[in-house]
């Protein structure tokens, strides 16, 4: 009677803002714990899980450069912010008894493992949740692109993008009552209609490797597990 899934290995992408709760900045421990429980419930189904967490709750490169900071420096600060979020998630998951590794694209050996692809695959095979931190390690990218890159490298079957709403709409559903949710949408439509799913480089990288992106609501309790079990509403970009 426990929910079943056909997925074997997936990547969960969440924005940094998903971790800040109602407080508007930084980390809200109960919110981090709630998301960790969602991850654990999917881990309990036997699914191998990769995670990429953004850094926007702490620092975004574009915001820094808009205030006069040198862009690449600001981007490195953004990447460092994602490491803090990854460590918070690691701590919350291990509190729940889920083994994890934080794997950083920028070397900081005292804090996180360096990214070595084969080693990360081995962790997944051993059912450790791999939290990929520091984005791609390069400025001018986003954690959406990092998520798509790692999902491809780890041979994930799909990216699950947890958001505040249950999919992709033709216009912002928070502002428009008549916004319509897509069940399915093509990568090209996302790009041409400029639908807010992920940035264009991430969408193109997913498209070129036929990696589906499933957009769902993380605000719905049991949402992640439900979507993996084929319940609930979501949008599939493929």
45, 112, 211 from 159: Cα distances, Å? 17, 23, 7
Among 7, 115, 132, 141, binds ligand UDP (CB under 6 A): 141
Residue 235 marked ligand-binding: no
Among 3, 5, 17, 26, binds ligand UDP (CB under 6 A): 17
162 counts as binding ligand UDP under rule CB under 6 A: no
CA distance linking residue 218 with residue 150, whole number of Å:
21
Give the single-character DSSP code of 11. E
CB of 199 to ligand UDP, least distance (A): 8
Residue with smaller CB distance to ligand UDP, 38 or 75: 75
139 counts as binding ligand UDP under rule CB under 6 A: yes
8 C-beta neighbours (distance < 10 Å), count: 12
Residue with smaller CB distance to ligand UDP, 141 or 187: 141
31 counts as binding ligand UDP under rule CB under 6 A: no
CA distance linking residue 138 with residue 115, whole number of Å:
13
Q: Helices 200-208 and 143-153: crossing angle, nearest 10°?
A: 10
Instruction: Report the interface residues with ligand UDP, using CB under 6 A.
Output: 15-17, 54-56, 60-62, 75, 78-79, 81-82, 135-136, 138-139, 141-146
């Amino acid at each position: 009677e426990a929910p079943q899934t056909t997925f074997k290995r997936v990547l969960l992408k969440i924005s940094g803002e998903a971790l800040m709760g109602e407080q508007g900045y930084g980390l809200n421990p109960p919110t981090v714990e709630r998301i960790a429980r969602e991850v654990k419930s999917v881990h309990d189904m036997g699914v191998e899980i990769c995670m990429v967490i953004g850094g926007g709750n702490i620092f975004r490169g574009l915001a820094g450069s808009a205030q006069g900071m040198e862009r690449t420096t600001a981007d490195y600060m953004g990447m460092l912010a994602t490491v803090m979020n990854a460590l918070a998630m690691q701590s919350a998951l291990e509190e729940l008894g889920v083994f994890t590794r934080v794997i950083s694209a920028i070397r900081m050996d005292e804090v996180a493992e360096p990214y070595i692809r084969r080693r990360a695959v081995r962790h997944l095979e051993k059912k450790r949740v791999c939290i990929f931190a520091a984005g791609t390690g390069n400025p001018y990218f986003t954690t959406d692109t990092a998520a798509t890159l790692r999902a491809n490298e780890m041979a994930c079957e799909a990216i699950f993008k947890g958001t505040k709403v249950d999919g992709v709409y033709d216009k912002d559903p928070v502002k428009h009552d008549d916004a319509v949710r897509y069940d399915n949408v093509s990568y090209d439509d996302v790009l041409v209609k400029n639908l807010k799913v992920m940035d264009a480089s991430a969408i193109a990288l997913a498209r070129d490797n036929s990696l589906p992106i499933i957009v769902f609501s993380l605000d719905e309790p049991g949402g992640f597990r439900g979507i993996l079990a084929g319940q609930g509403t979501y949008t599939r970009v493929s």
